[in-house]
A and B are shown apart, each in its own frame.
Chain A
Amino acid sequence: MKKINLLMTIFLLGIASISWAQTTVTGKVTDEQNVPLPGATVLEKGTTNGTTTDFSGDFTINVADNATLEISYLGYTTQEIAVQGRTSLSVQLAEDATQLEDVVVVGYGTQKKSDVTGAIASLKSESFNQGVVTNPGQLLQGKLAGVNVTSVSGEPGASQNIIIRGVGSLRSGTTPLFVVDGFVIDNSSIGVASNPLNFINPQDIASIDVLKDASSAAIYGARAANGVIVITTKRGQAGKTEMNLSVSTAFSTVANPMDVFGAAEFRDQVVSVGGLLFDGGGNTDWQDELTQTGISNNVNFSMSGGATDKFSYFVSAGLDDQEGTFDNSTLKRYSGRVNLTQKALKGRFNVDFNLTASRTLNERPDAGATVVDILQLNPTIPLYTNGDPTFLDERLNPLTRNRIYTDEAVSNRILANILPSVEIVKGLTYRLNLGVDYVSTNRDQQQIPYSLLEGLENGFLNTISTINSNTLIENTLTYNYNQGDHNVTVLAGHSYQETMFEQKVLELDGFANNGIEPRYQDQISTEVLPTTLNSIAFKNEQQSFFGRVNYGYKDKYLLTATMRADGSSKFGENNKYGYFPSVALGWNISREDFMPENSVFNNLKLRASWGQTGNQDGIDPKVSLASFLDSKVDNDTYPLDPGANTLDDYPFGTIAARTAFPDLKWEVSTQANVGVDFGMFGNRITGTLDYFNKVVTDVVLFANRIDPIQPTEKFWTNIPDMEIKNAGVEFALDYRGTFSEDFTYNIGGNISYTDNKVVDSQFEVITTGAAQGAGQTGATINGYINNEPIGAFYMKEFLGIGADGLNQFRDVVPDGESLDNDRIVVGSALPDIIYAFYLKFNYKDFDLGFNFNGVSGNKIYNHTAMSLFTRGQLSRSLNTTGFAAEFPNEELSNSNEVSTRYLEDGSYLRLNNATLGYNLDPQIAGLGDWVSNIRFTVTGQNLFVITDYSGFDPEVNTGSETDGIQTFGIDRFTYPSPRTLLLGLNVSF
């Protein structure tokens, strides 16, 4: 309602606006090929009056009759045009060879794109994925070659697996390093179960640069082996003072409900498999009843501007209120940002300041249990009986669960850094980067006492408070020497970062059923239901020294060399520091004299690089130190005193909790890259092709003891000889074309092929992906063996149901027995090929864009089907899909052993998002004096998925890891993915 009022006000103000003695000039800005240039700056010379062109390159501006317009666009020569009374202008900007097309953010600085020697993929805000977007990963899904973004579930703000150029570690964490405005984010937990990067308002982000190869990432050294994602937030531009208000409302529904039986068919099926039908007389579609249309609202306001050589600012405030398709599933984020830049001493002293503060409230349902319920509950049972949720024997009605169960995390986060720099002498700049990232999260999980079910009568509250503070101090010196044909930039720096993690887990049981939620109740620990407090605290320090040399000769021959020495308190005396070098060469062929003047190539560059990066993610704190603990629990004590009859009388036992591992060192990723960048036919076609080969050595594992007689069963070690290899090809292509002056289009896409394998492993198999449920103890789904990929599925091959009604598996080791040595690699959870393509059309004031993405060559393990859709379950009047009734002669007690029976093809093609936009000319609406741009959008997200996969969505990863070894592609009770329709309005003034 408030929003409508606001709009009404804007309209009324527009109608009531007064005209001054000025001219309204409209125009269109295009390049030399008549392709419109959206976002070009149009400025009335000598004033701060300005605007930017819209999506079609059109602009409208009120200027004095005798004004001169300055029209500028990055990469093009600025033009000045005297208005001279004209009301309509057509401006063609010429490309500027010296002022290059794009600037790329690299580690500790920026570079012209033509000078870049590494493999860096960049995405500007206008190319981001549209729709309900919570975090940066979603912005770039499918956008960049070699960057595989997979949401683990369809929950609002869910975590993602971001895999850049293949998986390079056995242990947890493919997460790249995130650098936000020069601040290196620490990837340790912040106490929320959803994505830790939900705190950044995606609308504040100006660009995302992904450093893929070692030469570009090596400047971040020991944390860069998974790649680096550099996020740059918006800054004010001199001469472009504007405010922007955007509001949107989105509606989300479950995209692909599963095909479980309806009540009538269920009655038939239970009987036909020989089960005992419990008929509750109803007809309930539990999937429909227990999911909702989630309504999400977003309001975002920003203002920005600045004066040349003096200052600029960008300030924003945002509210994002998302609702999932399950009850009690919300994510609310309040965020604010202030980015300032001010200069002094005639531009030699410069201070950048970035501050973002956000408060994220994440309410989560018991999603796993809810998924089981909506799929499994007997559809003949009515949802309600006598107005109350129907009481189900020995299990909770999910409506009741939603009432009594709460899981809510509130996270407050401040990320701020200040970067003063001073040019000491010409070309030599010193810069300091002081920053802090402070997160405080409180998570309450509670269950209100419920007397009707055993085990739930006491109620509980788990309160988890987490403080994660991360401080950074960096000093860099940059020297720039530019004379004649030589262009040299030298960077030297020192960095110190400290991460402090504190967590307190309070577990309280036993609450009164008095109408007060446990989290607001008083509670006293009792002997029967004692309160426990578990504290975790650690501090990780990292100190680094780094340097880089960039050398360019005639802008044709380019060299980049970097070196970083990283030291970490995580490692022992013998390997405190790791050293990570890189070197890269570039050749701008298109600038060679032998290239003809009118070549089809506007740009042709060859790049080659080699380098090393490191990885220390997932290594526990303090592993370099031995630890002994005195314990009276488990099997650590024994009654030595004949009269000992309480724990007080039992002695403490001294236990070796951890053996010291002073030799542990960083995992090293050595990567070579060869690439070519090209632009053809006046840059109508642009593209990039890269080949990479990445080899990880010194693989870190929490491995079994070498000598069986060791006090601790496992120890941290670098596995000798073992290598994890990733090799692949990435290709991206973009084409801009025109049908007519009013009708332009842009198509393009990217495709990446990655071959991943483990070689020279001393282990017969490293299993992970623990199967869950009764009878599944010790059973695993993933297994990594030599010459097969990480993410491989390792299990028995299902041949069918035999004459005896039981499973038949392939007898790989032909001994007539079905044993665990019959397990083989039957596919991989990681796709060979990921691809994406997009289509964009601009027709006058309308634009329409489609983004598709897909994967192929991967498999998904449908653990949900294995757990729920068995013939035995159906016979017990629990609902299933047709999967359970597939084999008519299957015995009810046939097992659901892990096998390829539950392995499915994971290939898919998704229409990730489609956006239809309309730019309303403020002149037409009579708001010309007040508003520079009005844009309406309709965006559909996840509009369709083409896949053979039978679960909710082929984009999954909810497996249980074993011993910290990564698991992929297991779908167990995953929160379903939504399909979303979003209506948006954006007003600039």
Chain B
Amino acid sequence: MKNKILIVALTIGSLLSWNCTDLQEERLDESEFGGQAEIISGAIAPAYGYVSWVWRHTNYYGLQLIAADEAMLPFRGGTDWFDGGKFLASHGHTFTPTNDLIGDGWNELTTNISRTLAAIEVLTPLSEAGDAEATSALHEMRALRAYLNMLMLDSWGLVLRKESSDQLSEVLRTQDAIDYIESELLAVVGDINTSKGPGRITQAAVWGFLARLYLNAAVYRDPYGTPNFTPEDMNLVIQYTDNIINSGGFALSPEYFDLFNDDNNSNAELIFALDQRGVLNREHSRWAYWSIAGSMFPRPEHPSADGTDGPAITTDFYQTWVDAYGAVDPAEADARFYQMNNVIPDAQILDFEGRVQEVATETDDSYFCVDPLEFEMDRGILRGVQWGPRKGDDGAFLTCAGGVRIYPVQQTKGNGPDRDVGYVNHILQIDFSNQGSLHNTGYRVSKYQFSRTSPNGNNFSSVDLVLMRLAEIYLMRAEAKLRNGDAGGALTDVNTVRTSRTARPAQTPEALPSVDLEILFRERGFELYWEGFRRGDQIRFGKYEDPWTDKTDSDPNHRLFPIPQSAVDAASGIDGFLDQNQGY
């Protein structure tokens, strides 16, 4: 009996010890560290790479664009671009803390700051050990982090200072935030590289960031009041813009739209631009395709590249061009407004104007033939009926001898009366009414080229996303001079920019006879439209509370966006860490 118990006990004991475990989890389909990256490039590439994602149309770019008076995105035809109402609320300044556009802008920006911090933590010990390449990269990362924090300050009125990943961020507002960004930029401006070109942060870019910081310092210091632009700030703007202009490293582009073409990386006007080479899926072309008609196929060599019927310019913004040029069509008066690339032969214009403008009345004279690789959309602000290739029932483009047929673009989107029977006809009127929201409404912006390296218009773009260029530097200097009382100096800078677009002399804007703040604001709109500056300009020039199409809100609290509810909720466990902005 005892033996039996012993045997059983032993058996149990051995079974227990056989399968006792420390429960350590194994990694089977991943390793803790990738092991393929080089240390320095592995640290900085993700930080730089993320910036274009921050500036994606549905992230920070859309947030800046739609909240300003230069663009609006209605609920297209009741079917497209509603997306929870985020674009409608952003345009009307009725945003709530749960608005996804604000949430996405915030999330991507903070993730990018985190990537710069991760890089700084890797690079700092290498730099301290004397690694020159690491030191150079470290300067770029500190400058990039300061730039991203400046975007935070501009949109949310705060920066998140964090020097080590195991600390909690410090939330800084107003002067403290300005001081922090200033000190970071000043810490690197003397030693940072001067030669890595527009795709990296160079000394000129840091000068430009400093100029922007001082230009907006009055707003950042007192975001809800009337900004007090001090001579000291303005002198610093002049000092740093002088540095760039006098460096001789940059030149204004004779053809304005060359700034936004596939090969713009080599354009001498660019100071900081996100380097895209058509290699990555996420090298995006959203700034090009967002506004274009969904029925438009701008690349006959790529049948899936089309537009999206996204935002259009507001009637208010169009009116600023009309006010400036009076009876002269802005397309004739200003090379920045329009560039005709798709020249419609006389026979087709004659046919088009001589018939009822519907698909049903088309004849053999209603189209012309082009080589697919030669076709190029018009650029600038698109008005009226657009021309482009057309697909047959099988989804392939209709061809002709030697190329594809170019027709007036048939409207295939939406539920408007033009669908399938009429043409895409961009009309001026766009608003949130039923009629004003149809797929064709509003003049469209084709500032960026549909990249030839992108098979679908979204991805694999080679057009660098321009974040800072010389014309802005001139206009910042002009503004600083003007605010300091030097109207003559300001006029010279403004006219330098205006008269530099000489590639199409007939449309080179004429020099202005005089400049004041109103004209300078308008001029910045003409030069920098749809590049992410308009909201900041409107705030700085005291126009953000003005009414415009389908925007009546005049609450100064809305100059800053609400902190996303998700971020406030997540941080709510730590008292006072992340308080919602006032007025939300």
Contact = CB atoms under 8 A, between A and B. Distances in A.
A776 B37 contact: no
B45 interface: yes
Contact of B34 (A430, A535, A631): A631
Contacts of B75: 775, 895
B569 A629 contact: no
Interface string B26-62: 1111111111111001111110111011000010000
Interface in B568-584: 568-574, 578
Contact of A628 (B15, B34, B44): B34
B45 A707 contact: no
Contact of A778 (B20, B33, B100, B277): B100
- Assign chain B's interface to a size class: 35 or more
Nearest to A571: B23
Q: Which of A424, A477, A639, A815 has the most CB of B within 10 A?
A: A639
B571 A872 contact: no
Interface in B159-200: 160, 162, 165, 168-169, 197, 199-200
A430 B281 contact: no
Contacts of B100: 777-778
B118 A820 contact: no
Contacts of A656: 118
Nearest to B566: A704
A635 interface: yes
Contacts of A496: 19-21
Interface stretch (B108-116, B211-219, B227-235): B108-116
Q: Which of A539, A543, A713, A775 has the most CB of B within 10 A?
A: A775
A453 B8 contact: no
A602 to B, nearest CB: 43
A567 interface: yes
A896 B15 CA distance: 63
30 contacts: A276-B419, A539-B26, A621-B25, A633-B282, A635-B53, A637-B46, A638-B44, A644-B279, A651-B45, A652-B38, A652-B41, A653-B45, A654-B34, A654-B42, A654-B46, A654-B122, A704-B566, A706-B574, A708-B110, A708-B578, A713-B111, A762-B573, A764-B97, A775-B78, A776-B83, A777-B84, A780-B84, A804-B433, A872-B415, A896-B79
Interface of B: 1, 4-5, 8, 12, 15-16, 19-21, 23-38, 41-46, 48-50, 52-53, 58, 75-86, 89, 92, 94, 96-100, 106-107, 110-111, 113-115, 117-118, 122, 160, 162, 165, 168-169, 197, 199-200, 275, 277, 279-282, 303-304, 393-396, 414-416, 419-421, 433-434, 437-438, 565-574, 578
Contact of A893 (B28, B43, B394, B415): B415
A650 B573 contact: no
Main secondary structure of the interface of A (DSSP, over half): loop
Interface string A566-579: 01111000001000
Nearest to B85: A820
B161 to A, nearest CB: 9
B8 A629 contact: no
Given A537-B29, A635-B282, A765-B98, A893 B437 contact: yes
Contact of A640 (B41, B99, B118, B281): B41
Contacts of B303: 454
A8 interface: no
Contact of B89 (A424, A536, A645, A819): A819
B167 to A, nearest CB: 9
Interface in A292-309: none
Contact of B45 (A425, A652, A892): A652
Nearest to B574: A706
A710 B571 CA distance: 12
Contact of A711 (B77, B115, B199, B567): B115
Contacts of B573: 706, 720, 762
B4 A424 contact: yes
Contacts of B393: 393
A629 to B, nearest CB: 5
Contacts of B416: 892-893
Contacts of B89: 817, 819-820
Nearest to A806: B434
Contacts of B434: 804-806, 891, 893-894
B32 A872 contact: no
A647 interface: yes
A372 to B, nearest CB: 15
A569 B26 CA distance: 8
Given A627-B27, A627-B30, A775-B78, 18 more contacts: A430-B8, A538-B29, A625-B25, A628-B33, A633-B281, A637-B49, A638-B45, A654-B122, A655-B46, A704-B569, A775-B75, A775-B80, A777-B83, A778-B84, A804-B433, A817-B89, A870-B78, A892-B415
A707 B168 contact: yes
Contacts of A537: 28-29
Contact of A653 (B49, B58, B566): B49
A778 B45 contact: no
A863 B505 CA distance: 57
A762 B569 contact: yes
A636 B46 contact: yes
Given A625-B32, A653-B46, A475 B16 contact: yes
B195 to A, nearest CB: 10
Contact of B169 (A452, A576, A707): A707
Contacts of A897: 82, 85
A492 to B, nearest CB: 11
